[in-house]
Amino acid sequence: MADTCITCDVAIVGSGFAGSLIANQLSKKGIKVVILEAGPGIQPNINDAMARFYAASAKVPESPYPPDLADDPATVRVGRPTALTLSQSTWQNTSVAYLDQNTDDPNRKTRPFKSTYERLAGGTSHWMGLTPRLVPNDFQMKKAYGAGQPDFPFLDWPISYDTVSPWYEKAEAELGVSADADEQRFAGITFSTPNYAYPMPRIPPSLFDQRVGKAVAQLTEAETQFLGTAAPVTGLRVRSLPAARNSQPYRNRRACAGNTSCIPICPIQAKYDATITLNEATNNGVQLIDHAVASELLVENGSISGINYIKYDEKSGSRVDCAIKAKVYVVAANGIETPRLLLMSRNQIATGIANSSDMVGRNLMDHPQYLTWGLLPDPVFPYRGPLVTSAIGDLCDGAFRSQRAAFRISLGNEAWSATVGGTGGDPQTTTLDFINGLNASGLNKKDFTQLADNSALFGVDLTKTLGGLISRQFRIAFSVEQSPDPDNRVTLSSVKDALNLPRPRIAYDISDYTKRGIATAFRMKELIFSKLGAIDFTKVAETDPGKFNVDGIEVPLTYGGAGHIMGTYRMGDDPKTSVVNSWLQSHDHPNLYLVGSGTFPSVGTANPTLTLSALALRTADKIVDVLPSYQ
């Protein structure tokens, strides 16, 4: 252990959702907590981030936050993956991309893992803010759908929906969730009382939400037979999607003003992010050490005895090796950085910390996202409201899950911002098309205007044409369930970062089970677009287009990442097949807790943030109970 050492009751690595929530709960009990944060600490305001966002030529999720998007990851002390590194030419180039996605196995094809993340105080500011619950069958996939299938890839969680439900309610209060409880009673979702109310009313549905709702309200059995549901689907309901976004003032934060920039940044902090809880925690006495990269966990007599970390200075480039000693340790560094730290800790245990099962880093999952976009026959006026206000969730569960993945359909209010032009999206791409006589968006054609192909416009003609086209744009995303696969994993790369620590190495693919879900999503997209009378502009991206079997025809489809990094240190009752128990406590080291969505044995179709927050609050209670035994 380094000479420079601090002591506390509980040491936490990472100040995102799980880390900040646990720290804040413990601080209320007078427990001395220290958080190690790899990136910058809490900033006094978001002005610098907003300035970076406005100036960025590429409005990708990482654009407001350091380090610079163009930096060589070998020169960056705290690296992160970015959307700009996921092109066909760069995703495996470690001089550009932080993640090493190369493979030495000639028998295994590694497809690009397309989700990104931040590493700074509360590194969740660029999330969309969506907080649906998992449905009850998500916790018991094998029991519900695996009968008679010895190779069914899912394990049941060691915890049920009913156990998590009261913690969901606590998390909804902490994050400030806007939703309508009656609207959310589907697929087995229940609440503690018949009169349960979310902290705030739902965000009102957009014009596009309402348009889709009318289009899918009445369907025929023949139209939906491909879904494979036990009962015919003769209509679907568009429901408001729960969101940690203020529909009215809440906890001294303003109501959403509809800026439609939830990703990457809410300019008024109407959307919750972890710095809100982190500020409360530090006001309660939690010590936050920023620019502090945990490099190794230490073990003594089977328990964690300390954490070595590197304290670096961004300007001078200097570094100091430090250590922290505590009674209880919590690692909350996300589904890639947590297994990376555990695997780097090999000086005392050759396989790494908490890894007697050889499950650390395995079963990496996301929600492969099939992104589609089109043009409606008449306006719905996007860019008014948050990015997403409503979704179709009724297809997230059913008997079909014995054979294929479920999906959730989210309806976008940001037109083509996330879909066209590669890095900028609309309205920039379409605007430049009509100014310069180009057609990158596909809209500058006589079929869609009364003009010639590739027209170059200015003045009234330009504004009238853009207004008539952009007001009709929409996008729909299908977030698809991914089955766990132990060969999808995080290991250590031989390529280093600027602190001479190994960068994460990723092996990733999707199963036939998940591919069948994406193929079904494609058919659902075709049905919805037909009902809307929409023109389909969905394109196959250059990055790994994959072939999907749709009614016996091989169709090229592209899936992206949802930013939901899950499954790499999963929970379970059996120490041979899992890393932590239901309290997120390490099977190997009783004073070590590994929290976050890396603990999920399966992923369902719900965004993971609410579930990981609920589990973190439950773990905090457990730590309060057991801490006196570590005197």
Whether residue 376 is contained in a domain is answered as yes
Whether residue 144 is contained in a domain is answered as yes
Whether residue 354 is contained in a domain is answered as yes
- Same domain as 219, residue 156: no
The C-alpha atoms of residue 527 and residue 215 are separated, in whole angstroms, by 10
- Same domain as 579, residue 433: no
Q: Domain end: 558, 576, 592, which one?
A: 558
- Range(s) of the domain holding residue 629: 1-83+118-177+274-364+566-631
Which whole-number Å values give the CA distances from 626 to 7, 34, 386, 618, 621, in the listed order?
18, 18, 42, 13, 9
pLDDT at residue 542 in the model: 61
- Same domain as 299, residue 235: no
- Same domain as 327, residue 449: no
- Which tens digits make up the pLDDT trace of 251-262? 999 999 999 999
Q: Domain end: 558, 592, 617, which one?
A: 558
The tokens for 139 are 């916790």
Contact 32, 628 (CB under 8 A): no
Tokens 């005392």 belong to residue:
348
- Same domain as 228, residue 139: no
Name the DSSP letter for residue 395.
Answer: G
- Which tens digits make up the pLDDT trace of 392-435? 999 999 999 999 999 999 999 999 998 876 556 789 899 999 99
pLDDT at residue 422 in the model: 57
Whether residue 183 is contained in a domain is answered as no
- Same domain as 294, residue 435: no
- Same domain as 307, residue 171: yes
Q: Across-strand partners of 476?
A: 372, 411
Tokens 């570590």 belong to residue:
630
- Same domain as 17, residue 67: yes
73 closest CA partner among 629, 502, 425 = 502
The tokens for 253 are 């934060």
| Positions of the chain with pLDDT lower than 50, given as ranges | none
pLDDT at residue 124 in the model: 73
- Same domain as 410, residue 341: no
Q: How many Å is the Cα radius of gyration of the chain? A: 24
Number of C-beta neighbours around residue 95 at 10 A: 9
Whether residue 264 is contained in a domain is answered as no
Query: Model pTM?
Result: 0.97
The C-alpha atoms of residue 610 and residue 245 are separated, in whole angstroms, by 13
- Same domain as 360, residue 237: no
Whether residue 602 is contained in a domain is answered as yes
- Same domain as 43, residue 140: yes
Whether residue 153 is contained in a domain is answered as yes
3 state DSSP class of 489: strand
- Same domain as 441, residue 381: yes
The C-alpha atoms of residue 608 and residue 483 are separated, in whole angstroms, by 15
Whether residue 459 is contained in a domain is answered as yes
Residues whose CB falls within 8 Å of the CB of residue 581, separated by 6 or more in sequence, listed in order: 158, 571, 572, 573, 587
Cis peptide before 264 (omega within 30 of 0): yes
- Total structural domains in the chain? 2
The H or E element containing residue 618 is helix 609-626
176 closest CA partner among 91, 262, 247, 105 = 247
The three-point CA angle 235-538-56 to 5° equals 120
The CATH code of the domain that includes 125 is 3.50.50.60
The C-alpha atoms of residue 432 and residue 38 are separated, in whole angstroms, by 39
